[in-house]
Structure 1
Amino acid sequence: MIIRQLKPQDAENYLYLRLEALLNNPESFASSYEEEKTRSIEKYKKRFESSGSYTYGAFQNDELIGVVTLVEERSVKLSHRATIVAMYVSSSRRGLGIGKNLMKRAIQKARELERIEQIYLTVVSTNNAARSLYSSLGFEVYGIDKRALKVNGIYFDEELMVLFL
């Protein structure tokens, strides 16, 4: 397995995996399949070229099987912070340490950005595997966002987590 930062030429494969994530685990993401399926490949190409956002992909035999994005806060008063979003590993590849390796790479990038002092993320309270992974990497819960997401009439709470570097 290889983990590397995604490039504009990875945009189509990223969108394919992103749509898989939104179909398989709609409760885990604020975006919906319906919203994302209409987005153009160009949006992701531009995102992969932009500064302040770092998307990493896990590849096995040239197939994109997992992703995670680290986003730097831009405003002066928040510039010591970054957020992890869009974490996903293909359901057929879970339990192999891919998610942990992706998270470690995103955390490593945050450490390389010397001004980043803390990393934030949210996780659906019922996603025990993800919660366990994040806790094992040092993330701590600092709050609960009650009824944060509503999917098909069902509410999901999100745990707000932080890792102090």
Structure 2
Amino acid sequence: MEIKLLTPADASAYWELRLEALQQSPEAFASSYEEAIQRPNPIEHVENNLRTEGNYTFGAFDQNKLVGVVTLVQESSLKLKHRANIFAMYVSPVTRGQGVGKALVTEAIRKAKTIEGIEKLNLSVVSTNEAAKKLYIQLGFKVFGVEEKALKVEDTYYDEDHMVLIL
């Protein structure tokens, strides 16, 4: 398993995995699969995101196949630059339980520690996703709030735990 920072050359592989994520775990993302497939020029959009300063997407590769991703984004406004957010965490079901998620989040934390000014990381996770919450807690994150009915997928509501790691 290799963890590396994605580049624009990885955009197609990222987009494929993102679509899988939106189909496999619709409750875990604010975006929907239906919205994603209607997006014009999605690969170009991903390429631009992967070039954006302060936006770091890490990929886990198993024999050159992208099987997991996580994105670290530093806040840009002056009063929030001490914060960064972890978004779009996903590990393909075929590689879950093998430490891929831990390796990805650990790499995001390591990167955050190298960026001058970042003092804390925030993330949100669906309250019922016990595996993800256990991982984040193991890595030092703490729940600081719960948003009730944060997401609605068809007729089902999902609460989200908001978590923080002080670096």
The two structures share one fold, judged by TM-score above 0.5: yes
1:87 corresponds to which residue?
A: 89
Q: Can you give the 5+ residue segments of structure 2 that lack an aligned partner in the other structure?
A: none
Deviation, 1:38, is 2.5
2:110 corresponds to which residue?
A: 108
Matches within 5 A, 1:44-83: 44-83=46-85
1:57-76 deviation line (CA, Å, top 9, x unaligned) = 00011100000000000000
The residue type equivalent to 2:24 in the other structure is N
Deviation, 1:114, is 2.1
Matches within 5 A, 1:14-163: 14-39=14-39, 40-163=42-165
1:76-108 deviation line (CA, Å, top 9, x unaligned) = 000000000000000110000000000000000
Q: Can you give the 5+ residue segments of structure 1 that lack an aligned partner in the other structure?
A: none
The residue type equivalent to 2:92 in the other structure is S
2:4 corresponds to which residue?
A: 4
TM-score (norm: length of structure 2): 0.98
Deviation, 1:35, is 1.2
Matched residues in 2 for 1:44 and 1:73: separation? 19
Percent same amino acid at aligned positions?
Answer: 55
The residue type equivalent to 1:45 in the other structure is E
1:13 corresponds to which residue?
A: 13
- Cα-Cα RMSD: 0.6
TM-score (norm: length of structure 1): 0.99
Q: How many positions carry a matched residue from both structures?
A: 165
The residue type equivalent to 2:134 in the other structure is S
**Runs of 4+, deviation exceeding 6 Å:** none
Matched residues in 1 for 2:46 and 2:83: separation? 23
The residue type equivalent to 1:151 in the other structure is V
Matched residues in 2 for 1:114 and 1:105: separation? 16
Secondary structure in structure 2 of the residue aligned to 1:145: strand
